A and B are shown apart, each in its own frame.
Chain A
Amino acid sequence: MRSLATLLFLGGLIFLLTVLTGNLPFGNPPMLVGDAIQKGAADEVGAANFVTAVVLAYRGLDTLGELSILFAAATAGGLVLGAAHGGSHQRPAGFILRAGADLLFPLLLVVGLYIVMHGHLTPGGGFQGGVVLAAAFFLPLLARPGETLSHPWLSLVEGLAGTAFIVVGLIALFQGHGFLAPMFDKGTLGELVSSGSLPVLYLAVGLKVGSELASLLSRLASDDEVAS
């Protein structure tokens, strides 16, 4: 009975969305906000990547909300799972996996930081680069199951990064602009040091996302070992 009602609802939803999208002009969407952003973003924000301009400048407050959702999810995950249990009965991984992890760690670190720092120029940014950084710190844990990450340090980095994001926003507020409004010299479009405060914001986002995901992953991994 319950599944029948669900299937009816699902059919209705599919019908509704099909009719809605069938009337949508695919390929030439009506771009009101998008056109305005494409015309003005290069002068107003100075970021070559307009998605970054939208995420950090036009809707910076939404990004702060997004960060707080991620923080709430990570905190709730830590609360549910409890403190990480040290000591594992799993035997260590083989030589190839350990050497590969050691080899990949610096490369992943460089790639992650590169993606974070070039977020205003190329596809990428704090969220994507932060995930790569988290992978860099989680990889040695997979190779050596007994080790755990240092959670106090991760919490410190995470808290400092979140504070830095808000402080940059507050500085803009006290200078008479809106909260999180782009500041500083915009520089030339397409240079690494350009678009004012956006790289600073994305660096904060990258560190925060990376430390949050790394602590969450290590908690999940250590707790799963206990379960199995």
Chain B
Amino acid sequence: MTTSIGFIFFIGAIGLGAIGIAGIVLANHLFRLVLALAIAEAGANLLLILAGYRWDAVAPIVSDPAVVQTMVDPVPQAMVLTAIVIGVGVQALALTLVIRIRQRYGTLDMQEARQRMQDDLDAAAGITPSRSRERPAGGRPLPAPAAAVEAGVQHD
């Protein structure tokens, strides 16, 4: 009985991490990407805390020096404290980059932002736009470029 309850807790933590990683890879919106990162971190932290849990134990703080109590493992808790702080730093840095991208390209959609960034790079380097799925190389019987771009976008 006790094992199955622990297994449920672990499944919850693993599920949080899996949702976060799936969000990081599948999300197409930059802010959702940052949120998915936060969820994945929460899952990893929960997993660490669960690994140090003890039945019928108190938090690792001495309230009365005369009484000896069972306590949970303080080492994973200290690790999670570190992980949370580093997570905050990573999220803040990610958010600054997201704000910058929105200021520069006016969008938070990853593919649009990437396309505009590529256009910028091409214009700065003075070369013809590189090939992409939205803009295949010429020479084939394709409709006008503008229509091709639109068709490509709608296809995706």
Contacts and interface: CB of A to CB of B under 8 A. Distances in A.
A220 B51 contact: no
A11 B77 CA distance: 28
A93 interface: no
Contacts of B2: 26-27
B81 interface: yes
A77 B92 contact: yes
Interface residues of A, number: 59
Interface string A19-46: 0011010111101011001100110000
B6 A50 contact: no
Interface residues of B, number: 51
A6 B96 contact: no
B65 A42 contact: yes
B61 A55 contact: no
B53 A21 contact: no
Interface in B1-21: 2-3, 5-7, 9-11, 14, 17-18, 21
Contacts of A223: 96, 99, 103
A227 B95 CA distance: 13
A127 interface: yes
Contact of A10 (B18, B75, B100): B18
B18 A13 contact: yes
A227 B98 CA distance: 11
Interface string A194-225: 00000000000000010001001001100110
A220 to B, nearest CB: 6
Interface in B66-98: 71, 73-75, 77-78, 81-82, 84-86, 88-90, 92-93, 95-97
Interface of A: 2-3, 6-7, 10, 13-14, 17-18, 21-22, 24, 26-29, 31, 33-34, 37-38, 41-42, 48-51, 53-55, 59, 62-63, 66, 69-70, 72-74, 76-77, 80-81, 121-123, 125, 127, 189-190, 209, 213, 216, 219-220, 223-224, 226-227
Given A10-B22, A31-B52, A123-B59, 6 more contacts: A17-B14, A21-B47, A26-B7, A63-B82, A80-B97, A216-B92
Interface of B: 2-3, 5-7, 9-11, 14, 17-18, 21-22, 25-26, 47, 50-55, 59-63, 65, 71, 73-75, 77-78, 81-82, 84-86, 88-90, 92-93, 95-97, 99-100, 102-103
